[in-house]
Structure 1
Amino acid sequence: MKTFRAPGRVNLIGDHTDYNEGFVLPLAIDLECSLRATPRADAVVRVASLDVDVDVGVEVEVAADGSSEPSEVEPAWGKYVAGVVRTLSERGRPPVGLDAVVSSTVPLGAGLSSSAALEVAVALALCDVAGLQLPMLELARACQEAELVATGVPVGIMDQLASLSGRRGHALLIDCRSFAVEPIPLPAGLTVVIVHSGVSRTLVGSAYAERRRTCELVAAQLGLRTLRDATAEQVADEPRARHVVSENARVLDAARALAAGATDQLGPLLT
């Protein structure tokens, strides 16, 4: 039996910029999804959760060839498992079965990417038992697509890429167009404290997809590929688009401030 781990993440700055091919500055946190797995002799992927109540459903079973429809899988958390099986199958993963037990210290609905951590942990295990090797970016793409087919939410790639790329003591400057990841060391003496607001948050049922459509519409009206290419003047009268342009600039300024150890410059950028 092997154990596969994937951390959650907190995004220091860079909201609604990843799906606009912009910049984000997340860091992996010390809370993680852990999955213990062994291969099966048949073509079945079975995952049991140690974290959910019996009435919610502690086990999910799907076909290892990706033929199970992720959006129809129950319990709800099993949709993510089925989504990963589907997107890895599309990338050539042999239909090798898996028995696994999953647990997570990443709180659900807290904005710390518990779903991405689950997707990454499952993907790492599925690739291992089937002998499939994928570049890190392709694995992140597979997990990103898995969330889309599981939930219908058109998420960006930040969460999955941050979980796979996390480095102790570093934030990650991610260019969501080139997918370049630059580790930015945190200055000595700087501590990142995450406080749970007590308000649960999920992308399913939120205005996330609507906001993404608005950004894409504005970019199309401007004749641009994405809002990454827009100027402040072009979006002056579009609040959501204006945020994307100014937020990209703030992300780059924050990364430079961290790299220089200029923590006094971070406050104005984050507020």
Structure 2
Amino acid sequence: MSTPAQAAQALFELTYDTVPTAMFKAPGRVNLIGGHTDYNEGLVLPAAINFHTVIAVSPNSDNCINAVSARFGAEVQSWQISSEEQQDNDNAPWFNYLIGLCRSFLLTGLDIKGMNVAIASNVPLNAGLASSAALEIAFAMALSEQNQLHLSNLALAQLAQRSEYQYVGFECGLMDQMISACAREDHAMMIDCMDMSAKPIEIPDNLSLLIFMPTQPLKRSADDYHLRQHECAQAAQHFGVESLRELTLSQLEQGKASLSPTLYKRALHVLGENARVYSAGKALQRGQLAKFSQIMAQAHESMRDNFELSVPQIDQLVDSINQVVGDKGGVRITGGGVGGCVVALIDHDYTEAVFSAVEGEFSKQTGVDVTTFICHPSDGVHQLSIEQA
């Protein structure tokens, strides 16, 4: 099977009958802990994973972005570069991410020129593993480097988030774009979404990073995601703060009587989750796996009970894994609670037993098959040499 880099280069050559002049590679991500804290200006602890989107490019003289995707068919999509508002491409929604980034660059005062583009990716779709962010960040670096803008990786993440919010219509936090842009191999990254600072947290080499994705769709609607955003904003407004990051637990408890039970639970999750992210990062740094396991269990319970974004089958999957690893690994729902995935960071020695439990007992009891991804914490976006493909 070809790598995304090989596939992107081959597609480029087939489509444009020439070799690309540059290639850019950006990873997907898994969020270890920090569910729905990013858009509340809180703390998150994601890691980039060794599933990537690769973009092969070369300049053109027709002032157009011409793009083709291996994943979404071989038809070339084209967009005339302009700062003026133009109709989105309803037939190729993936192409709107590229259009949105171009608009974001232009309206920031950054000039861009025409490019031919070919895209390949192995980041799983609809799994909460940031396939869209990987596309955005790879293309953002392509725009930056091909136009000699040489923007920082943080700037790429900010432009990508802005374009997704303004032009794609998804009001996301900064986490996905920032980890895809700024990740470090063998590390998770604690990101403060208020001041956009980031601290790498080394993942001990005796731990396996696993993602379990049910093959049947168990996720809730994206409407639930937006509803939680709205509820968090309502809770913040109730207390007269810009975001829940500015609210303290004592303030929340003092104002509990004047808050609806639903909004109280949403705020309680966010405040507790910020504390859990910080503690989880410290536990990893100190090699305190039992403590990390406990914190991850608390995070899953809060997503289930306070944020109400899990589903019974996901809860059972988490329980099945926990029964095997005990305090030798952390397990929780991931993907914002909408993607329907489970992440586990566990002692290597328990990996095979976990596979057996998931593929055997869990699937037999629920009738739900699970795809397991064995991941490695990856570097953020970077340029590839053509030879690397």
User: How would you bin the TM-score normalised by the shorter chain?
Assistant: over 0.9
- Within a 5 Å distance, the mapping from 1:139-218 to structure 2 comes to 139-200=156-217, 205-218=222-235
Counterpart of 1:15 in structure 2: which amino acid? Answer: G
The answer as to whether partners of 1:70 and 1:150 remain within 8 angstroms in 2 is no
Q: Using a 3 Å threshold, how does the CA distance of structure 1 residues 263 and 23 change in structure 2: closer, same or farther?
A: same
Matched, 1:51 2:90: no
Aligned to 2:312: none
Tell me by how many angstroms 1:7 deviates. Answer: 0.2
Tell me by how many angstroms 1:74 deviates. Answer: 3.4
Q: Using a 3 Å threshold, how does the CA distance of structure 1 residues 131 and 204 change in structure 2: closer, same or farther?
A: farther
The answer as to whether partners of 1:27 and 1:172 remain within 8 angstroms in 2 is yes
Counterpart of 2:168 in structure 1: which amino acid? Answer: T
- Within a 5 Å distance, the mapping from 1:1-271 to structure 2 comes to 1-53=21-73, 58-67=75-84, 69=86, 71-200=88-217, 205-236=222-253, 237=256, 238-271=264-297
The answer as to whether partners of 2:105 and 2:112 remain within 8 angstroms in 1 is no
RMSD: 1.9
The answer to which of 63-72 and 34-43 deviates more is 63-72
* TM-score normalised to structure 2 length: 0.66
The answer as to whether partners of 1:228 and 1:245 remain within 8 angstroms in 2 is yes
Q: Which has the larger share of helix?
A: 2
Tell me by how many angstroms 1:195 deviates. Answer: 1.4
* TM-score normalised to structure 1 length: 0.93
Distance 2:48 2:145 in 1: 22
Distance 1:201 1:5 in 2: 30
Counterpart of 1:247 in structure 2: which amino acid? Answer: E
The answer as to whether partners of 2:245 and 2:271 remain within 8 angstroms in 1 is yes
User: Which runs of 5 or more structure 2 residues have no equivalent in the other structure?
Assistant: 1-20, 257-263, 298-389
The answer as to whether partners of 1:20 and 1:226 remain within 8 angstroms in 2 is yes
Distance 1:5 1:68 in 2: 29
Counterpart of 1:164 in structure 2: which amino acid? Answer: A
Distance 1:104 1:252 in 2: 32
In the TM superposition, what whole-angstrom CA distance separates every residue of 1:80-138 from its partner, at most 9, and x where no partner exists?
11111111112222230000100001011011000000001111111122111222222
Tell me by how many angstroms 1:223 deviates. Answer: 1.4
DSSP 3-state at the match of 2:92: coil
DSSP 3-state at the match of 2:71: coil
Q: Using a 3 Å threshold, how does the CA distance of structure 1 residues 70 and 162 change in structure 2: closer, same or farther?
A: farther
Distance 2:70 2:272 in 1: 42
The answer to which of 43-52 and 145-154 deviates more is 145-154
Counterpart of 2:145 in structure 1: which amino acid? Answer: D
Q: Using a 3 Å threshold, how does the CA distance of structure 1 residues 87 and 73 change in structure 2: closer, same or farther?
A: farther
Counterpart of 1:195 in structure 2: which amino acid? Answer: F
Question: Larger C-alpha radius of gyration, 1 or 2?
Answer: 2
Distance 2:84 2:66 in 1: 14
The answer as to whether partners of 2:63 and 2:81 remain within 8 angstroms in 1 is yes
The answer as to whether partners of 1:70 and 1:80 remain within 8 angstroms in 2 is no
Counterpart of 1:169 in structure 2: which amino acid? Answer: D
Tell me by how many angstroms 1:212 deviates. Answer: 1.1
DSSP 3-state at the match of 1:120: helix
The answer as to whether partners of 2:29 and 2:46 remain within 8 angstroms in 1 is yes
Distance 2:108 2:221 in 1: 26
